[in-house]
Amino acid sequence: MGSLANNLTNMIASLPAIIVAITFHEVAHGYAAEAMGDDTAARARRLSLNPLKHIDPLGLLSMILFRFGWAKPVPINPNNFKDRRKGVLLVSLAGCGTNLILAFISLAVITVVQGFATPLLNQILYSFYIYNLIFGIFNLLPIPPLDGSHVLEQFLPPRARMVYNQYARYGMFLLILMLWTGMIGGIIWPAINIADRFYKFLLAPLTGWF
């Protein structure tokens, strides 16, 4: 019974965090695209914080059960960008950057309220922190179709970019293989630990105030 109760508590704590992380990530892509001249997401009514517009039910369930999932991608047309290269870079980094900012805000709130918050509230806030941190760093990996792959593509010479795009179709299989073998964890957790220490260093002055 104890294990079941703990699992249920973890699900309750993690669900809002996952939904918010996904929603803000996708909306950030849309607003960045609009800022660069592409209104495709706006016309598709995807510049909304309504989670139902961004959540893929199967992807959300997979995220809860297996810690790996997906959302409905915001439609983007790079041909509409005022500057294609800058547009792709900005759009690709916007989602990850938003998640990393949300992670920092979540940790700041945790630092302020941890002395008097209930255990469930602390767990919910920590879920907001860790999921946004994971989303932000994981999506920076240069493996198609993750955001980091689009960033890397912009810095490749034409011939290398052509080869890279030819193999992009196999990116999802590579991603699943790396997740299954634990390679992804070996890559992102050291980065997450570094980000965690950096955030806590920045927030150290708050510790003495509360």
Q: What pLDDT digit, counting tens, does each position of 66-89 carry? A: 767 788 899 999 999 999 999 999
Note the pLDDT tens digit of each residue in 154-193. 999 999 999 998 888 899 899 989 988 989 999 999 999 9
Mean pLDDT of the chain: 90
Confidence of residue 5 (pLDDT cuts 50, 70, 90): low
Q: Model-level pTM?
A: 0.90
Which residues are tagged catalytic? Answer: 26
For residues 103 and 136, is the Cβ–Cβ distance under 8 A? yes
Identify the three-state secondary structure at position 208. coil
Confidence at residue 62, expressed as pLDDT on a 0 to 100 scale: 79
List phi, psi (to 5°) of 203: -95, 5
For residues 108 and 126, is the Cβ–Cβ distance under 8 A? no
Confidence of residue 61 (pLDDT cuts 50, 70, 90): confident
CA angle 17, 8, 106 (to 5 degrees): 25
Burial 94-128 (b: 16+ CB within 10 A, else e): bbbbbbbebbbebbeebbbeeeeeeeeeebbbbbb
Confidence at residue 69, expressed as pLDDT on a 0 to 100 scale: 76
Going by C-alpha positions, the residue among 126, 103, 101 that lies closest to residue 113 is 126
